Every structure is written in C-alpha cells, then in structure tokens.
Structure 1
Amino acid sequence: MTSKRHVKDRNITSILLTFALLILGLMYLFPLLWFLLSSLKPGSELFTYPLKLLPKSVTFTNFLDAWTMLDFVKYFMNTLLSAVVTTILTVIASATCGYAFAKYKMKWLSIFFICILSTTMLPTEVIMNPTFTVIRKLGLYDNLLGIIIPSINTATGILMFRTFFSSVPNELIESARIDGASDGKIFLSIMLPIAKPIIFTLSIFSFQWRWNDYIWPLIVLNDPNKYTLQIAIRSLVGAENVNWSLLIAASVISIMPLLLVFLAFQHWILDSNATSGIK
C-alpha cells in the first residue's frame, strides 16, 4: 500500500514539474514567436492598438527589401569568414591547451590555468582598450584579422577540454606510448576523436559568439565594405526614425545561419556517449 502511494506521489510530482517546465518554455518561446511573426507584418500593423500576435496580411516584402538594401551577400561573407576562421582556431587552441593542462603535471601549468580562469571575472569592456592598442600596433586595425585573433583563446573552451581530458584514464595514454605513439599522434589519433562532443559543442558556441559579436567589430572595423552583419543591421537605425519592418526582417535573416548550424550538429551536443571511445 505504501509502495503504491509512493508511486502515485511520484507521478503527481512528475506531472507538476512537467507542467511547470512547459509554462517556463512557453514564456521563453512567446517573445521569439512574436518576433518571428512581426517580421511578416507590414509596417502599419506593428504598432496598432490593441497589439495582435498574428498578422492580418502576411507579407514577405520586408525580407526582400532588407536583403537588397543591406547587400546581405557581402556582409554575410564577412561575418561567415570571421566566424568560421575564429571557430576553427578557437577549437584548435582550446583543445591543445586543455590537453596540456589535463595531462602534463607541472606546477607552473596549474598557476597558468588559474590565471586563464581568472580572466572570466573581467568584463570584456575592461580589456578592450589594451587589446585595441595591441591591434593597432600590429597593423590589424580595419582588418578582419583584428576581430579574429583576439577572439581565439577563450577560458570557457580551455576549461571544457581540460575537464573532458581529465576524465580520460592515463592508462590509455600510457598504452599508446608503449606501442610507440608520440604525444602528437596520441593527441590527434586518440584524444581528439573521443572529444567530438566537446569539439562540436564549443564550435557551436564559438560560432554563435562571433556571429553575434557587435561591440568589438564596431571598434576595429572602419571600412563599410568590411562590416559584419550586426554592424550592417545597425545602419537601419536612423538618427530620427527607425524602419522597424526592415530591422526585424533583417534580424530574422541574420539568425537563420545560427539555427541551421545548431540543427546540423545538435546530436553531437546531446550525445550521451561522450566517453564511448574510451572502452
């Protein structure tokens, strides 16, 4: 009897928690849904009172106008180039650093790792001035390399790889060394393949960070032909008025690559067999 009551109470608790999560999910989904539906409304419907979620007349003119007015192809390529190159270099740097911090036992490495983690306590605005000074002295001002190079090393990526590699048994590495494998071969042939979930997770995060980056490209880039997508969208905001229809449509277009990247690689993030290669 007690067991049946316990099962019943657990089911009720599960139902209540599921309902609470559903409500929370709808709270997050509602603004996004309103944003997407607003991109399909003509300008005359955006601020009508009372506000309505569904558009009276669906139009795709906003997307066509935003695409032609902003020259999306050029800005897409600039943003895609900087995001992809930065993501690749970030994964390489984070993986190598994380492996060294996890498997090489030296005191100075531990101190260095603590110094890297301490950078997460600094707001980005604090280091912008010295970073910009370095970029100018290196001749990278108004250059896409100026927004790529400072973004390569991230404490988050290094911590992710260090945590994962620390969970890999040292016996696996020792066995590979006994078989004659060098440290480089161990890292490339053994450690990286079993770290695929971490690689894809960091890749998605890094791509998202760089794609949505606004402040740093705004500071570094001066030539309109080198602008990234977020700076180009900002040009739709005028000094006295804002074309909200074009702004919303352009913003929807800008988030589509992020959605496609996540849908393409989400199974790597949700993969529960992250350590299956160790067996």
Structure 2
Amino acid sequence: MTLRAKVGTYLVLAPVAILFVAPFVWMISASFQPMSTIFANPPTWVPDDPTVDGYKGFLNLGTLTQAQESQGSGDWRWFANSAFVAITITVVQTFFNALCAYAFAKRRFPGRNVIFVLFLATMMVPGQITLIPNYIIVQHIPFFGGNDWMGMGGHGWLNSYWGLIMPGVVSAFGIFLLRQFMLSIPDSLLDAARIDGAGEFRIFWNVVLPLCVPALAANAIFTFQGAWEDFLWPLLITSGDPDKTTAPVGLALFVVQNKTDWNLLFAGSVIATLPMIIVFVIFQRQFVRGIAVTGIKE
C-alpha cells in the first residue's frame, strides 16, 4: 500500500473510530465526575475534580444513602454471577462446540451433511422465538426444583444457575466456525495418529485442539461476550431474584427505580464493560488469526 493510500485510509477510518469510541470515553469520564458536572453543557471530557465516589458507592465501599440502598446499588453479586455464568458457558460451550465440529469435519457417518445443514438452519431462527419453549423446558426438568420424574410439581431450573447456563452449552455458530477451521487440518496427521494407536478422543484432544487455538480463541471471545451481555434470558429465568441477578439485569433494574444516581450507574457500566475489553485484548491475536483462517478450505 502506498503512502498516499495509507494516509487516505487513516483519514477515513480515524473519524469513524473517534465516533465509536467517544461515548465510551465520555462514560469513563462521567464515572469520575460528581453529579453536578456529569450533564454539563458542553460536556466535560476531563474531570476538573475527579472522584471515585461513584465506584465506592456502587461497590458498597462507602456510605450509601437510603435511596441508593433501596435501588440495590453496589451489589457486587451482579458481577460475580455474570462472571461465573459467562466463564462456565464459555468453557463448556467451547469444548462441546469443538467436539461436534470434529465429528462434522473429520468423521464419516450417515447423514452427516444433512445434520450439519439442520444445525446451520437453526441460526436463522431468532432467539426471541425460542425464549418461551426454552422457559417451559427449563421449568419442567425432571428431579430438579421439586419436580417429579414427569417434570411436574416444582419450578425445575428456574431461579438457578442450571437454568442460566445449560441453554448456552452449545452453539450452531460456534460449531460452524470450528468445523470450517478443522477442515484445513490435513487428514494425514490424524491418520498418522491412528497408525500409532491413538483413539479418536485422544486424536481430538492431543492433535486437533492444539492446532485450533486461534479458532478456539475466537469462539471463546464470541461466547463470553454473548453470555456476559445476555439480558432477556437471565431476566426471564431469575425473575428479579437478587441472588441470581446478572450485571446487565442489575444495571437495568438500577435505572428503572424512582431515582437514578448517574455517577453510580456510569461506574457500574464501566465495571461491566471492562471484562469484555480485557478478554479481547488478551486473545486479540488469536481472535484475528482465527477469523482470518476460518473457511479457507471447503
């Protein structure tokens, strides 16, 4: 790329980048400002007198007013629940996605292509359509939450971590992503492992997975982001139970109260955003490589 082309590219992309980053920068700045200056006109990008009272109040490190306590501000359990649910879904889903992708990419069995197409077809179904069926299934899980063997008499997995985690243990998109990457792995490597006496699971674990680290990282980032930001399903499953409330639901409930302390809300929003940024920064190189290489072989 010539110097003129590079300059032109940066002249186009720089304003777009600033446009997308500006709201997040202002949110960070507002989280360090007192209530009196947050909505000043023009907006204050660099606080004149920065304070961490918003973070202290949100995390219950300081003294909260009665109104703030009634809003449930500072409840660190929101983030603990989100972290537990998101990390668990990420680990479990990445493993099962890789296992299914290996079967579709490297195993031969009747109806393989038909089943794979059916998996892809589920991606065209909006998630909102499956909310009620999934809710009914979770409610009638046998032997959980007071249910009998017919799934009746109790609440099943409602208001539980099981209900938050289990519907997300597999993803059609993740299977597709990893399957496309695994198609680029030479079959000769797998045949050599079979000649040495390795079983299929050992081939999958010791040969295929180490070669799929970029695609696994991409799948993990997508999964963690989706699980951390999920709002509708936790809201439906937990029904406002404070012990199982996740960060997005907690922040939403914080807003709809009679009075909103915006400095606390902005502090909580910054804290809720940081995990996704940290995960992306750590796995950025593998993520970009996984997206770039996926699908090079059909």
| Same-fold call, TM cutoff 0.5 | yes
Q: Does 1:81 align with 2:73?
A: no
Contact 2:221–2:287 (CA<8 Å) still a contact in 1?
no
Give CA deviations for 1:104-138 in whole Å, capped at 9, x if unaligned: 23351211111111121111111101010000001
Q: Does 1:267 align with 2:267?
A: no
Farther-moved stretch of structure 1 (142-151 vs 113-122): 113-122
Q: Secondary structure at the match of 1:59?
A: coil
Q: CA deviation at 1:239?
A: 4.3
Counterpart selection for 1:209 from 215, 226, 233: 226
Q: Secondary structure at the match of 1:26?
A: helix
Q: CA deviation at 1:165?
A: 0.6
Counterpart for residue 16 of structure 1: 8
Are residues 75 and 243 of structure 1, via their aligned partners in 2, closer, same or farther at CA, if it must alter by over 3 Å?
Answer: same
Counterpart for residue 106 of structure 2: 103
Are residues 14 and 133 of structure 1, via their aligned partners in 2, closer, same or farther at CA, if it must alter by over 3 Å?
Answer: same
Q: Does 1:114 align with 2:117?
A: yes
Q: Which amino acid aligns with 2:128?
A: E
Q: CA deviation at 1:190?
A: 0.1
Contact 1:90–1:153 (CA<8 Å) still a contact in 2?
yes
Q: Which amino acid aligns with 1:98?
A: A
Contact 2:57–2:74 (CA<8 Å) still a contact in 1?
no
Q: Matched residues in 2 for 1:19 and 1:135: separation?
A: 52
Q: CA deviation at 1:235?
A: 2.5
Q: Does 1:247 align with 2:271?
A: no
Contact 1:41–1:57 (CA<8 Å) still a contact in 2?
yes
Contact 1:93–1:152 (CA<8 Å) still a contact in 2?
yes
Q: Secondary structure at the match of 2:136?
A: helix
Identical-pair percentage: 29
Q: Runs of 4+ in structure 1 displaced over 3 angstroms?
A: 69-73, 238-241, 270-275
Matches within 5 A, 1:116-195: 116-138=119-141, 139-195=156-212
Counterpart for residue 238 of structure 1: 256
Q: CA deviation at 1:261?
A: 2.3
Counterpart for residue 46 of structure 2: 54
Q: Matched residues in 1 for 2:130 and 2:169: separation?
A: 15
Are residues 75 and 240 of structure 1, via their aligned partners in 2, closer, same or farther at CA, if it must alter by over 3 Å?
Answer: closer
Q: CA deviation at 1:208?
A: 1.5
Contact 1:144–1:221 (CA<8 Å) still a contact in 2?
no
Q: Matched residues in 2 for 1:260 and 1:72: separation?
A: 22
Q: Matched residues in 2 for 1:268 and 1:141: separation?
A: 36
More helix by share: 1
Q: Matched residues in 2 for 1:196 and 1:188: separation?
A: 12
Matches within 5 A, 1:28-67: 28-67=20-59
Q: CA deviation at 1:91?
A: 0.6
Contact 2:218–2:288 (CA<8 Å) still a contact in 1?
no
Give CA deviations for 1:164-209 in whole Å, capped at 9, x if unaligned: 1111111111121122111111101100111111112211221111
Counterpart for residue 4 of structure 1: none
Q: CA deviation at 1:271?
A: 4.8
Q: Which amino acid aligns with 2:261?
A: N
Q: Which amino acid aligns with 2:40?
A: T
Are residues 250 and 234 of structure 1, via their aligned partners in 2, closer, same or farther at CA, if it must alter by over 3 Å?
Answer: same
Q: Matched residues in 1 for 2:289 and 2:176: separation?
A: 19
Counterpart for residue 93 of structure 1: 96
Q: Matched residues in 2 for 1:67 and 1:99: separation?
A: 44
Q: CA RMSD in A?
A: 2.1
Contact 1:66–1:250 (CA<8 Å) still a contact in 2?
yes
Counterpart for residue 144 of structure 2: none
Give CA deviations for 1:245-277 in whole Å, capped at 9, x if unaligned: 2111111111222222223333332458979xx
Q: Matched residues in 2 for 1:30 and 1:48: separation?
A: 16
* Structure 1, gaps ≥5 residues long: 1-6
Contact 1:38–1:46 (CA<8 Å) still a contact in 2?
yes
Q: Which amino acid aligns with 1:160?
A: L
